[in-house]
């Protein structure tokens, strides 16, 4: 199958294949549950390809603990090259407990991801936070607070304290991590966030610590200067300590949040629990190079290989990937399929520890929905036997 000519013309991005062949997707399965959830996302992408007559070419590459085990390097050069030559990157998860409690480790899986973000200049991490009424009971917040919650966090991803000068004194008596931001680094992500707010509820909140930090004062200045270009977007400013409280007490007030790297890392994990399961949430990292799509959950090593992890975060990341490649209808079908499984209680163990379905069964159900094979009632008995979903 080849990509439809008009699909490509309709998109703002042409595939590297020049519109003649397949969309090139770099696949980094990574660590822990990464491989098994990514496998289900690919199954769903294949269902999309079949239904909409697209072609996806997958190029697998290594990163993280898996890459260290196999090559000694958390981000082999081939991975960077493959990613640079792709239309998009699908990534699973990173991290292994053997590195977490060893502060002296010289090589760490996470270095791979940080280097990839920097190499591809993926400066904006986008994390949508939405809720599902069928899962309200799982949220640590009361239903009345979460009904209608729908916001998106724009986290700066290639600057700030993550990438500043790092040093530890030779005698171990002190250590430092510098935090620097340039005007340009702030402007480019603020632009994206303003544009997104314009397409949504037209509200942008800059989260910073401008009462204490110079970098935050620069963020505020730059955002204030940009605001007149977006007169239809209401801008407000919130200190990060207050924001962390507001996300819990009144998450409905937010539309688009923009913030620096470290604050965004922390706030996006905090916000992710609102929906009831960390396993559901996708993310996109965009910038100058090919964009990367990954579920926000970690590598969850305790569940690895057991077929119990929730593949929906990865599947919805694939939906964001389709959106990014301007396949809007395709992305919507995947989202409809996910909603259908949740409404019918076809869920993994994190959502229902008693009556749960396997990772692979959820992937199969969602793929069947995308292919239009699921139209009527579903044979639960067969699903439990993991055979077939169709009567
Ligand atoms: C994330 C993760 C990473 C980060 C780690 C794995 C380096 O927590 O994507 O949010 O801190 O950015
Ligand atoms: Mg994080």
Dist CA 371 CA 333 (whole Å): 9
Cα→Cα distances 379→191, 219, 335, 372, 388, Å: 48, 55, 22, 16, 8
269 is a catalytic site residue: yes
In 3D space, the residue among 324, 318, 346 whose CA is nearest the CA of residue 37 turns out to be 318
Mutate to test the pocket of ligand 1, among 64, 265, 268, 293 (most ligand atoms within 8 A of CB): 265
Residue 104, pLDDT score: 83
pLDDT of residue 228: 98
Ligand 1 pocket residues where CB is under 6 Å: 94-95, 110, 113-114, 265
Per-residue pLDDT, 277: 87
Angle (CA) 4-125-221 rounded to 5° is 125
The residues spanned by each domain of the chain are 1-126+277-391, 140-275
Give mean pLDDT in consecutive 10-residue pieces for the chain, a chain of 391 residues.
32 46 96 98 98 97 96 97 98 93 88 96 96 90 93 98 97 97 98 98 98 98 98 98 97 98 96 91 95 95 96 98 97 96 94 95 97 74 53 38
Pocket test for ligand 1, best of 95, 110, 271 (most atoms within 8 A of CB): 110
- Distance from Cα 390 to the centre of ligand 1, integer Å: 39
Out of 123, 132, 154, 162, pick the active-site residue: 162
C-alpha 163 – ligand 1 centre gap (Å)? 13
**CATH number 3.50.50.60 given to 1-126+277-391:** no
What whole-number distance in Å separates Cα of residue 58 and Cα of residue 75? Answer: 18
Q: How far apart are the first and last CA of the chain?
A: 29
Does the annotation count 241 as an active-site position?
Answer: yes
Q: What angle do CA 12, 18, 19 make, to 5 degrees?
A: 70
Q: What is the C-alpha separation between 339 and 337, in angstroms, rounded?
A: 5
Give the span between the Cα atoms of 91 and 293, in whole angstroms.
Answer: 6
Residue ID of nearest Cα to ligand 1 atom 2: 265
pTM comes to: 0.91
One fold for 1-126+277-391 and 140-275: yes
Quote the pLDDT of residue 110.
94
Minimal-distance CA residue to ligand 1 atom 11: 265
* Catalytic residue from among 7, 31, 209, 349: 209
The correct CATH number of 140-275 out of 3.40.718.10, 3.40.1190.20, 2.40.10.340, 3.20.190.10 is 3.40.718.10
């Amino acid at each position: 199958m080849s990509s439809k000519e008009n699909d490509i013309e309709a998109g703002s991005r042409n595939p590297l294949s020049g519109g003649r062949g397949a969309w090139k997707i770099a696949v980094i399965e990574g660590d822990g549950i990464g491989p098994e959830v990514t496998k289900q996302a690919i199954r769903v992408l294949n269902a999309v390809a079949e239904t909409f007559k697209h072609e996806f070419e997958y190029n697998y590459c290594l990163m993280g603990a898996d890459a260290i085990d196999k090559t000694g390097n958390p981000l082999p050069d081939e991975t960077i090259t493959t990613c640079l030559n792709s239309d998009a990157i699908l990534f699973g998860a990173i991290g292994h407990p053997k590195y977490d409690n060893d502060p002296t480790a010289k090589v760490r899986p996470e270095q791979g991801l940080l280097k990839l973000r920097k190499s591809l200049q993926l400066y904006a991490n986008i994390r949508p936070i939405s809720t599902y009424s069928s899962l309200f009971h799982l949220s640590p917040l009361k239903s009345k607070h979460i009904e209608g919650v729908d916001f998106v966090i724009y986290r700066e991803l290639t600057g700030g304290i993550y990438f500043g000068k790092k040093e530890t004194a030779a005698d171990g008596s002190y250590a430092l991590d510098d935090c620097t931001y340039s005007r340009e680094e702030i402007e480019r992500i603020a632009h994206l966030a303003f544009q997104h707010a314009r397409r949504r509820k037209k509200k942008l909140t800059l989260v910073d610590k401008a009462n204490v930090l110079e970098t935050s004062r620069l963020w505020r200045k730059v955002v204030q200067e940009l605001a007149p270009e977006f007169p239809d977007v209401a801008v407000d400013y919130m200190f990060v300590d207050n924001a962390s409280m507001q996300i819990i007490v009144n998450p409905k007030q937010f539309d688009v949040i923009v913030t620096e790297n470290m604050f965004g890392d922390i706030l996006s994990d905090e916000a992710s629990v609102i929906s009831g399961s960390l396993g559901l949430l996708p993310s996109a990292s965009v910038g100058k190079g090919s964009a990367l799509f990954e579920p926000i959950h970690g590598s969850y090593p305790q569940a690895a290989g057991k077929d119990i992890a929730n593949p929906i975060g990865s599947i919805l990341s694939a939906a964001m990937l389709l959106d990014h490649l301007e396949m809007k209808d395709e992305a919507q079908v995947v989202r409809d399929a996910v909603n259908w499984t949740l409404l019918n209680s076809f869920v993994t163990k994190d959502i229902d520890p008693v009556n749960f379905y396997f990772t692979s069964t959820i992937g199969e159900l969602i793929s069947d929905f995308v292919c239009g094979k699921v139209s009527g009632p579903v044979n639960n008995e067969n699903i439990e036997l993991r055979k077939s979903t169709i009567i």
